[in-house]
Every structure is written in structure tokens, then in C-alpha cells.
Structure 1
Amino acid sequence: MSSPSPVLAAGCVLWRRSPYDGALQVCLVHRPRYDDWSHPKGKLKRGESAREAAVREVLEETGHHCEPGTALPTLRYEVNGHPKEVFYWEAPATGGAFVPNDEVDRVAWLSPAAARGRLTRPADRVPLDAALAALPDA
């Protein structure tokens, strides 16, 4: 018996420079369905590349456009007994504004240390740490 194909998803460690002091900020999303804080991400649609899905999901969940840069480590884990792979990129926000929706009711722009502490799943710190290592002056 073959193992099931993984569910494929993609997202970004979305970041910006604070409009007040230029400090690096990372965007996390709160999903009321799970009552968790995570990076914006979601499942790939048929025929969509992981990078395209990441850009779409960031826009849908945060209201922000972005430009994916460095590819980050892929997270692999199980959800309800099914394998899942989530591809990540670091991505600066290039404009937009958050509007709460059914999937995401809040976003938070946090310092990297605060974001690291707020992430619900410890594994989500892996792409965050990789993004920080990839960014100049992070």
C-alpha cells in the first residue's frame, strides 16, 4: 500500500520596516477557527505553483501584496493523519491593508522576538529564523 500524497500548501514570512522607526516587523495572522497565530499560508489550488499560492494566500489573509524572495525551509508534518508540506518564502509587504474575514480575524505586526514568542506552533519558528538569517540588517 502506497503512502498518501501530501497536502501541499505555501505561505510567506511577511515582513516590513516599521513606519515609525524603521525596525523590522513580521506579520502574523490569527485564525479564529483554530485560535492560533501563524504565518499567512494556505493550500495550493489545481495548476497553481507554490510561489503563486503563497502570494495569493498572503493577499487573501492579510490584505497585503508581497514580493517573495529567498525560499525558506519546507515544513513537513501530519494533519489528521495525512502528510502536509508547506513551502515558504521571505517576502516584504509591498502595500495593502488588512480587512478581517472569516478565515483571519486579526493580524499583528511584531518585532521578530515578539513574533517568535506569539507563534502557536513551535515548528513555525523554523521559517521565521531562516527568514531573519536571509534578511540583511534583520
Structure 2
Amino acid sequence: MATRIDFHDDPNAPAPNSMVPSVNALVTNEAGDVLMIRRTDNDNWALPGGAIDLGESAPQAAIRETLEETGIQCEITGLVGIYTDPRHVILYTSNGEARQEFSIVLTARAVGGELTPSTESREVRWVPRDEVLSLTMDRAMRMRIEHYLAGTGLPYIG
């Protein structure tokens, strides 16, 4: 199985050899709970998301990735931020790809579907917003969720 390792400000991190635009969806339900997945590649909790494919927009990718990873259909409602820290390197051990972070985080609301894990998500659940930050997750994902929970309405650009 492939493994993902996140490096932050680490002088021993591999040199990046790619940059792939990706998107995460911060999906909420009517109760305000946040849709979270437990990743199969590192066992951390995260927002659903992935690479933006050629020929699709960021919102289309967020909707597709959410459905693929969680079984939940959603519609995009806004922007949390754009995350492009060159000191955050993501290593995929299966192929040696060392990716420089480039992620757009969009907000969305659930419109249908049933919670269904996938090959990328060993567990899928709705988490009350006051419990989300208690989950084990990478610090970059935690920062994205904290920006949303702060509720400023202003997108993060960094």
C-alpha cells in the first residue's frame, strides 16, 4: 500500500519534484457537522479531496472527490483558502513523488448520498464542529479547518 508522508519546514525533506493542483471540500450537513475521512495512506483524518484532473474545474474536482471518497453528494458554497506553502512537501512512497503543497479548500453543503468508505478512505463520518480538531490529522489539514472554524468569511491566501 502507498504511504504519504508530510514534511513541514524539515531540512531532511526530499526536494519537491512536482506540483499538482488539488482541492479539498469542507462539507457540512444541516446540523453543521463536518464531513471527515480517515485516509488509507497515512491513517490521518482529513477533508475529502484530491488532484484536479485536466478538463475539470476546482469545484467540479471537489464534488467528484467528495463523492468518490465519502459517498456524499455536495454543492460548493464558498472558499476557505488557497494553500501553497513551499516548505510543505508531501512524499508518496509508492512512486517517489515529492509534491510541493498546492491546495484550494472550498466549502460545500451536503445534498444527498450515504456515508461510504472507499479505497482512499478507511472511515467516513460526520463530526460535530466542536469535536473536529480533536481528531488526529496533519498540521496543514488542521490549519485549514481552523481557518474555516474561525468564521471570518475571508479566504486565507498563503
Normalising by the residue count of structure 2, what TM-score does the alignment of the two structures yield?
0.72
Q: Which runs of 5+ in 1 are unaligned?
A: 19-23
Identify which range, 118-127 or 97-106, moves more after superposition: 118-127
Q: Spell out the pairing of 1:31-70 with structure 2 (5 A cutoff).
A: 31-70=39-78
The answer on whether the counterparts of 2:115 and 2:124 sit within 8 Å (CA) in structure 1 is yes
Q: Which residue in 2 is equivalent to 1:89?
A: 106
Is the helix fraction higher in 1 or 2? 1
Matched, 1:120 2:128: no
Q: Which residue in 2 is equivalent to 1:15?
A: 28
Deviation at 1:66, TM superposition (A): 0.8
The answer on whether the counterparts of 1:30 and 1:106 sit within 8 Å (CA) in structure 2 is yes
CA RMSD of aligned residues (A): 1.9
Once the two structures are aligned, what percentage of the paired residues are identical?
A: 27
Q: Which residue in 1 is equivalent to 2:12?
A: none
Q: 1:108 aligns with which of 84, 109, 125?
A: 125
The answer on whether the counterparts of 1:73 and 1:126 sit within 8 Å (CA) in structure 2 is no
Q: Aligned equivalents of 1:51 and 1:88: distance in 2?
A: 10
Q: Aligned equivalents of 2:82 and 2:58: distance in 1?
A: 11
Q: Which residue in 2 is equivalent to 1:21?
A: none
Deviation at 1:105, TM superposition (A): 1.8
Letter in 2 for 1:101: S
Letter in 1 for 2:144: P
Match of 1:17, SS state, is coil
Match of 1:116, SS state, is helix
The answer on whether the counterparts of 1:70 and 1:134 sit within 8 Å (CA) in structure 2 is no
Q: Aligned equivalents of 1:113 and 1:33: distance in 2?
A: 26
The answer on whether the counterparts of 1:30 and 1:37 sit within 8 Å (CA) in structure 2 is yes
Evaluate the alpha carbon distance shift between residue 39 and residue 59 of structure 1 in structure 2; reply closer, same or farther with a 3 A threshold.
same
